[in-house]
Amino acid sequence: MGNDTVTIIDNATGKRMELPVFKGTCGPSVIDVRNLYREMGYFTYDPGYLSTGSCDSKITFIDGENGTLLYRGYPIEQLAKHSTYPEVCYLLLYRKLPTKAELEKFNESIKKHSLLDEAMRVFYRGFRHDAHAMAIMVAGVGALASFYPEALNVHDRNDRETSAHRLIAKMPTLAAWSYKYSIGQPFTYPRNDLDFTANFLSMMFGIPTEEYQANETFVKAMDLILILHADHEQNASTSTVRLTGSSEASPFAALSAGIGTLWGPAHGGANEVVVHMLEEMISSGKNLKHYINRAKDKNDRFRLMGFGHRVYKNYDPRAKIIRQICHQLLKEIGSDTENQQLFDTAMALERVALEDEYFIERKLYPNVDFYSGIIFRAMGIPLNMFTVIFALARTVGWLAHWMEMMADPDARISRPRQLYTGPDLQKYVPIEKR
Ligand code: SDX
């Protein structure tokens, strides 16, 4: 019995099995249960995957107990302080920080792919003007698949890399155009003289009648937000991308599925709901304790949005940084009272919650979505674009995981099993006898 195995004993039959244990660079080791069914006739059972490792990955590490987040080993705090989103994209995709020449080449490639096929202009007209931008993004990324049939060559490394660059480059254009469509303004084309994040803001807020000057404070804040949202291990949307990609589907289809998953308010959709929640708290004039009590009431579906996390049982390191960005941004732009009021309410809510036994006992802290919406709002970004920006940022994380999986020679289709508790064998009864 090595110390790199665990033994399970079936008490019903006395049958024993040694299961291999694999140790990673850091974090919990895993028990390899792949042969469990064949040798012991059992499936593992883990709805919601609380204790299940779905893959071996070298991209991102999270230590939920200590609130640590590393992209390819680099602490998020250092990347937030020193890096840029394009450089973080390179790091996540190519496993190392780029040299100056490598980053320039990468940026050139992204610029080359930033245009959408002109036919996509007509695509938007199929939507109502008040369509949720995430609905457009789910459909839009799927629609892009129709322009790049070579994306189906998922076993060709060069085609995979081209698809990755195309998706990273086109998401800002797709996102900005869904905003422009919703306000009835002309689409603004990408500009090769601007860096990635300034280019996105130019497409969002530029108009053909004026030369757009990006607000440097906004560009810096947005670039930081993109870095902080770029990847996060095997979260629900990344697991969706991996599962969809495991069937050898187009990466465009896999990302469309990932965007759909991210949209949920339990996941990336929370950033939009947090602002609705804070606005309701302000307009109701009720004491914050009223909402804390509602969040604790099992008979009330209300939850403190932007709070809690499956992995972090400590403060989400990204939330800490976003709270700082929020504070600085509001100070720099001399925010209007509404945004300041939102921020003050969020800070007060955090204080009250973190002193409450229910939240302390369950280790519920603010997560990445708690403060981010206030920053977007201060930049004049509409609520239904908040999760779109999360999707734009997470595109590189989804692609890094997809490429890691597709490069794995042992990769196979993901196909979980179940505990069946439905009806036993039934005999068909003709309708006249029912
Ligand atoms: C993201 O996975 C990732 O990495 C995601 C993400 C990423 O970068 O990809 O970090 C992005 O999705 C952040 C999370 C955004 N969602 C929200 O802010 C929505 C509000 N949060 C919750 O719905 C919840 O905390 C989840 C969905 C985030 C986590 O759910 P879990 O892990 O299944 O936790 P749970 O529901 O089992 O909660 C454990 C306990 C329960 O109470 P008890 O049954 O033990 O009495 O904590 C309670 C829950 O009721 N609880 C909350 C709460 N979150 C958990 N109670 C009130 N308010 C909350 N927000």
**In this structure, what are the phi and psi dihedrals at residue 18, rounded to the nearest 5 degrees?**
-90, 125
Query: CA 386 to CA 416: how far, in whole Å?
Result: 32
Terminal Cα-to-Cα distance of the chain (whole angstroms): 59
**Ligand 1 mutation pick, 367, 372, 387, 395, max ligand atoms within 8 A of CB:** 367
Within 6 Å (CB) of ligand 1, which residues are found? 232, 235, 266-268, 270, 295, 303-311, 362, 364, 367-369
The token pair at 43 is 């499936």
Span from the CA of 353 to the centroid of ligand 1 (angstroms): 14
Span from the CA of 309 to the centroid of ligand 1 (angstroms): 5
Query: CA 168 to CA 162: how far, in whole Å?
Result: 10
pLDDT confidence of residue 1: 44
pLDDT confidence of residue 235: 98
Catalytic residue among 223, 316, 356, 369: 369
Cα–Cα distances in Å, from 75 out to 70, 229, 325?
Answer: 4, 14, 17
Span from the CA of 363 to the centroid of ligand 1 (angstroms): 10
pLDDT confidence of residue 335: 63
The verdict on whether 309 is a catalytic residue reads yes
pLDDT confidence of residue 85: 98
Query: CA 384 to CA 131: how far, in whole Å?
Result: 9
Shortest-distance atom of ligand 1 to CA 267: 12
Q: What is the tally of helices (H) and strands (E) in the chain? A: 18, 6
Name the closest-CA residue to atom 28, ligand 1: 309
* pTM recorded for the entire structure: 0.97
Catalytic residue among 132, 309, 356, 401: 309
Shortest-distance atom of ligand 1 to CA 262: 12
Do 277 and 369 contact (CB within 8 A), yes or no?
no
Shortest-distance atom of ligand 1 to CA 310: 32
pLDDT confidence of residue 2: 53
Kindly give the parts of the chain with pLDDT less than 70.
1-3, 335
Name the closest-CA residue to atom 34, ligand 1: 310
Span from the CA of 267 to the centroid of ligand 1 (angstroms): 9
Span from the CA of 308 to the centroid of ligand 1 (angstroms): 4
Sheet with 60-63, edge to edge strand ranges: 60-63, 68-71, 74-75
**Ligand 1 mutation pick, 50, 267, 294, max ligand atoms within 8 A of CB:** 267
**Ligand 1 mutation pick, 298, 359, 364, max ligand atoms within 8 A of CB:** 364
Q: What's the pLDDT tens digit per position in 68-85? A: 999 999 999 999 999 999
pLDDT confidence of residue 3: 64
pLDDT confidence of residue 150: 95
pLDDT confidence of residue 336: 72
Name the closest-CA residue to atom 40, ligand 1: 362
Span from the CA of 364 to the centroid of ligand 1 (angstroms): 8
**In this structure, what are the phi and psi dihedrals at residue 75, rounded to the nearest 5 degrees?**
-60, 140
Cross-strand pairs, 68: 63
Do 110 and 162 contact (CB within 8 A), yes or no?
no
